């Protein structure tokens, strides 16, 4: 696993004058305008804004899920605007993703869903992978549910498995898209607190898109977006 | 649940392929069964004979020429004809194959025939094939209880003195074995001195092909000499050219393959489509297309294993049913089992590869 070095001064994410469009020709719609932002090591940054503000699009660019066409974007010391599609796939492996829908594989147990991530990091031994999986699932409070299938878990529990899955390979960056949207306030709060603790323990920065006003207090910084432009708060 | 449906599709495909190919082989084997029973090293036939079941005759005196070769140890004759056997119980007539052979040394694999040799020398005494179909009536049972049975064949009264188990084929529902003299009596209309098949035993140590070539020179254009293997090959060739076994049963097997393919493809495609968000998620997390392809292909391979064994067992059952119903032997061979297994893997693998193409379109960015 070629982990990138994160020095205290160098930002983990740095975007400079990024513009992004959807569609071609007459149907072209610009969704990001001159976006400049950064995420420092260990920071928890929230991206807020009304729907259509481009925050999710920005997240997909940072996550190496879309190709940057205009502007510069450095993530984990890689210039995403200048790499090939194959390299983008490699970068994804160093990022932990948490989605709105947990998207766990229904035919695998919670444990297997989390352990699956080690398929992308073959240098970790089987024994270590097992242990890391168990430890993490225990930290998210699912010690006694590890061998359950997703169908038998509640929404909150499934999202916690998703959090474990995102963190188990010790990524250097976590990207989350509205992780609490499908949860009630109690579970939502739990998940976010968990995320915060685990991230702090590992000094792993989090960039999270959210609508949820209840969890804004966990942020170090909040970036508000509107119509594809950035306005920073706090 | 869906797994069960897909596996069922594989089971049907496997069973169809095995049964179709098995019946084709059985039909083929049965048709050449008589040729296979020949134990002579060389066989002499008329040049006009295409198959021994519809053989043209040639003069017996040609065989006598062959005695002058020092490699020839024994010369025998075989006569073949078709007769009409009247079932003594219901008075209906059915075709029957009639063989005229020397019961002391038939040069054919007819185990036990020496026991009847003396009886068959008597006028109009005939052996009945115990494995003949039941059209002719409960002959075997009657013979067990009463010893002999008078029947009418080709409007001639003959006596069945015993049974011998040989086996029937597509060409004949039953067989009768008699001495050459009785055969002549049975078929008075035949040209006297003409024979259907000459049987030659050669001395040890010489190659059959060499003696064949040598004897061919004695006979020139008037008769053909074949080795036993050549005889079998030419019978097989005749069947394949004249009865479209390959086409009919080959088509049947292909249909089986197609059915399995379609069912597996449908199920896999539906599975993939239903799980697009999950596949897109995996892609977002960094799994390559190739990894996902391997996932789906391995699902397909498991499916082929799950479906093969029940299909195999079912096919064995069907072979048994066919054997009993048609009274011909249908059985499994190792080559066929392996060949169909490979075909099954290919069938499932192909389905997976085509179904997976949908996954390539899973855009990880859309998961958000």
Task: Show the 3-state SS of B279-314.
Answer: HHHHHHHCCCHHHHHHHHHHHHHHHHHHHHHHHHHH
Closest residue, chain B, to A176 (C-alpha): B368
User: What are A187-226's pLDDT values in tens digits?
Assistant: 888 888 888 887 888 888 999 998 888 888 888 889 988 8
* pLDDT tens digits, one per residue of A95-133: 998 887 768 888 889 999 999 999 888 888 889 999 999
pLDDT in tens, B74-130: 999 999 999 999 999 999 999 999 999 998 888 888 888 888 888 888 999 999 998
CA distance B174 to B83: 10
Q: What is the model's pLDDT at position B336?
A: 92
Give the residue from A138, A154, A170 where a domain finishes. A170
- A84 lies in the same domain as A117: no
Looking at the complex, report in whole angstroms how far the Cα of residue A118 sits from the nearest Cα belonging to chain B: 11
Structural tokens at position B295: 């996932």
Contacts of A93 in chain B (CB under 8 A): 285-286
Looking at the fold, whether A190 and A140 belong to one and the same domain comes out as: no
Containing structural domain, residue A134:
101-170
Of A95, A99, A119, the CB nearest to B281: A99
* End-to-end Cα, chain B, rounded Å: 30
Distance from CA of B254 to the nearest CA of A (A): 33
Residues A161 and A178 in one domain: no
State whether A22 and A67 are in the same domain: yes
B160 Cβ neighbours under 8 A, 6+ residues apart = B126, B127, B128, B139, B143, B148, B149, B150, B151, B176
Q: Is A89 part of a structural domain of the chain?
A: yes
pLDDT in tens, B127-143: 999 888 888 889 999 99
Residues B67/B72/B77/B78 CA torsion (nearest 10 deg) = -150
B192 or A20, which is more confident? A20
Selected residues 338-367 of chain B with any CB under 8 Å from a CB in chain A: 364-365, 367
- Would the pLDDT of A137 be above 50? yes
Assess whether A62 and A163 both reside in one domain.
Answer: no
Cα(A92)–Cα(A219) distance, rounded to whole angstroms? Answer: 24
Q: Is residue A3 part of a domain?
A: no
Cβ-nearest to A56 among B285, B291, B368: B368
Domain boundary residue, one of A134, A154, A170: A170
pLDDT in tens, A177-197: 888 887 888 888 888 888 888
Pairing mode of beta strands A221-226, A229-233: antiparallel
Q: What is the pLDDT of residues B138-162, one digit of tens each?
A: 999 999 999 899 999 998 999 999 9
Grade residue A3 by pLDDT with cuts at 50, 70 and 90: very low
Which pLDDT does position A234 carry in this prediction? 65
Residues A21 and A126 in one domain: no
ipTM of this complex prediction, to 2 decimal places: 0.81
Residue in chain A lying closest to B277 (CA): A103
Residues A30, A19: contact at Cβ < 8 Å? yes
Cα separation of A161 and A150, whole Å? 9
Give the pLDDT score at B1: 66
Spatial CB neighbours of A181, under 8 Å, sequence gap ≥ 6 = A100, A210, A211, A212
pLDDT-derived band at B26 (thresholds 50, 70, 90) equals confident
Enumerate the domain spans of chain B: 2-30+244-367, 47-222
Mean pLDDT of chain A: 86
B215 token code pair:
């004897």
- pLDDT for res A8: 57
State both tokens at B328. Answer: 């011909």
Kindly state the tokens that stand for B167: 């086996």
**Same domain? A180 vs A211:** yes
Measured in angstroms, the CA of B289 and the nearest CA of chain A are apart by: 10
Hey, are the CB atoms on B285 and A56 less than 8 Å from each other?
Answer: no
A93·B285 Cβ contact <8 A: yes
pLDDT digit string, tens, across residues B199-217: 999 988 888 888 888 888 8
Chain A residues in contact with B291 by the CB 8 A cut-off are: 119
CATH code at A225? Answer: 3.40.50.300
**Long-range CB contacts (< 8 A, 24+ apart) of B139-143?**
B139/B163
Q: Cβ of B365 and A66 within 8 Å?
A: yes
The answer on A82 and A108 residing in a single domain is no
Report d(CA A54, CA B163) in Å as an integer. 93
pLDDT per residue over A140-157, tens digit each? 888 898 999 999 998 888
Is B368 within 8 Å of A59 when comparing Cβ atoms?
yes
Q: What is the pLDDT of residue B364?
A: 80
Is residue A158 scored above 50 in pLDDT?
yes
Write the DSSP symbol of residue B339: H
Cα gap B34→A35, rounded to integer Å: 89
Per-residue pLDDT, averaged over B43-68, amounts to: 87
pLDDT at position B125 is 92
**Most confident residue range from A167-181, A216-230, B310-324:** B310-324
Contacts of residue B364 in chain A, CB cutoff 8 Å?
65, 92
Nearest CA in chain A to B365: A65
Mean pLDDT confidence for A68-92? 88
- The CA–CA distances, whole Å, from A117 to A93, A109, A206, B79, B96 equal 9, 13, 19, 78, 73
Contact present, B215 and B42 (Cβ < 8 Å): yes
In a domain, A1, yes or no: no
The model's confidence at residue A1, banded by pLDDT at 50, 70 and 90, is: very low
Clarify whether residues A35 and A143 are in a common domain.
Answer: no
Q: What's this model's pTM, rounded to 2 decimal places?
A: 0.71
Number of domains in chain A: 2
Q: Specify whether A25 is located in the same domain as A88.
A: yes
**What is the structure's pLDDT at B31?**
79
CB-CB under 8 Å, B285 with A120 = yes
Question: CB distance B364–A103 less than 8 Å?
Answer: no
Residue A2 pLDDT greater than 60, yes or no: no
Residue A209 lies in a domain: yes
Q: What is the mean pLDDT of residues B288-307?
A: 86
- On whether both A18 and A82 belong to a single domain, the answer is yes
Does any domain span residue A5?
no
pLDDT higher than threshold 70 for residue B65: yes
For range A79-107, the mean pLDDT: 86
Could you read off the pLDDT of A99-108 as tens digits, one per residue?
A: 877 688 888 8
Place of tokens 């797994």: B3
Among residues A114, A137, A170, the one where a domain terminates is A170
Query: Is A213 among the domain residues?
Result: yes
The pLDDT value given to residue B314:
94
Q: Which B residues in the span 278-317 are in contact with A, Cβ-Cβ below 8 Å?
A: 278, 280-282, 284-288, 291
CA-to-CA separations, B9 to B17, B275, B358, B365, in angstroms, rounded: 12, 22, 22, 36
Rounded to whole angstroms, the Cα distance separating B255 from B20 reads: 10
Cβ atoms of residues A169 and A118 within 8 Å: yes
């Amino acid at each position: 696993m070629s982990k990138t070095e994160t020095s205290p001064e160098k930002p983990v994410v740095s975007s400079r004058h990024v513009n992004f469009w959807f569609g071609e020709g007459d149907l072209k719609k610009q969704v990001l305008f001159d976006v400049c932002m950064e995420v420092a090591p260990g920071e928890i940054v929230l991206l807020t804004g009304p729907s259509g503000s481009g925050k999710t699009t920005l997240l997909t660019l940072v996550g190496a899920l879309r190709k940057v066409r205009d502007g510069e974007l450095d993530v984990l010391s890689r210039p995403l605007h200048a790499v090939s599609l194959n390299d983008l796939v490699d970068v994804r492996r160093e990022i932990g993703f948490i989605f709105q829908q947990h998207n766990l594989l229904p035919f695998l147990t919670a444990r297997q869903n989390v352990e699956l991530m080690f398929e992308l990091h073959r240098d970790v031994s089987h024994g270590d992978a097992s242990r890391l999986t168990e430890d993490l699932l225990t930290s998210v409070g699912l010690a006694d549910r590890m061998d359950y299938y997703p169908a038998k878990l509640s929404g909150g529990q499934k999202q916690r498995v998703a959090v474990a899955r995102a963190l188990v390979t010790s990524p250097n960056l976590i990207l989350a898209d509205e992780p609490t949207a499908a949860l009630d306030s109690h579970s939502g709060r739990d998940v976010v607190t968990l995320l915060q603790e685990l991230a702090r323990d590992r000094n792993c920065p989090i960039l999270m898109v959210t609508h949820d006003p209840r969890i804004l207090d966990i942020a170090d910084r909040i970036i508000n977006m509107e119509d594809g432009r950035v306005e920073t708060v706090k | 649940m869906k797994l069960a449906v897909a596996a069922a599709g594989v089971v049907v495909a496997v069973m169809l392929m095995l049964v179709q190919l098995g019946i084709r082989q059985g039909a083929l084997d049965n048709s050449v069964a008589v040729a296979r029973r020949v134990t002579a090293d060389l066989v002499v036939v008329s040049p006009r004979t295409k198959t021994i079941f519809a053989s043209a005759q040639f003069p017996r005196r040609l065989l006598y020429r062959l005695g002058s070769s020092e490699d020839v140890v024994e010369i025998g004759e075989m006569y073949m004809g078709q007769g009409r056997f009247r079932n003594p119980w219901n008075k209906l007539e059915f075709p029957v194959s009639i063989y005229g052979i020397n019961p002391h040394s038939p040069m054919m694999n007819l185990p036990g025939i020496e026991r009847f040799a003396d009886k068959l020398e008597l006028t109009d005494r005939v052996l009945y094939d115990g494995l003949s179909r039941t059209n002719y009536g409960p002959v075997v049972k009657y013979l067990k209880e009463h010893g002999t049975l008078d029947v009418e064949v080709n409007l001639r009264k003959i006596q069945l003195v015993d049974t011998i188990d040989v086996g029937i084929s597509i060409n004949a529902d039953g067989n009768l074995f008699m001495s050459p003299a009785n055969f002549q009596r049975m078929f008075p209309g035949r040209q006297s001195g003409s024979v259907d098949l000459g049987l030659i035993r050669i001395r040890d140590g010489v190659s059959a092909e060499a003696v064949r070539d040598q004897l061919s020179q004695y006979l020139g254009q008037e008769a053909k000499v074949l080795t036993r293997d050549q005889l079998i090959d030419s019978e097989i060739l005749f069947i394949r050219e004249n009865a479209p076994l390959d086409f009919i049963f080959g088509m049947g097997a292909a249909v089986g393959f197609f059915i399995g393919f379609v069912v597996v493809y449908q199920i896999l495609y539906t599975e993939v489509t239903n799980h697009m968000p999950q596949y897109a998620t995996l892609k977002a997390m960094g799994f390559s297309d190739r990894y996902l392809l391997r996932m789906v292909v391995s699902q397909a391979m498991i499916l082929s294993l799950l479906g093969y064994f029940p299909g195999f067992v079912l096919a064995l059952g069907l072979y048994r049913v066919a054997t009993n119903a048609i009274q011909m032997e249908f059985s499994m061979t190792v080559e066929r089992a392996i060949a169909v297994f490979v075909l099954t893997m290919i069938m499932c693998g192909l389905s997976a590869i085509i179904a997976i193409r949908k996954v390539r379109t899973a855009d990880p960015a859309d998961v958000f």
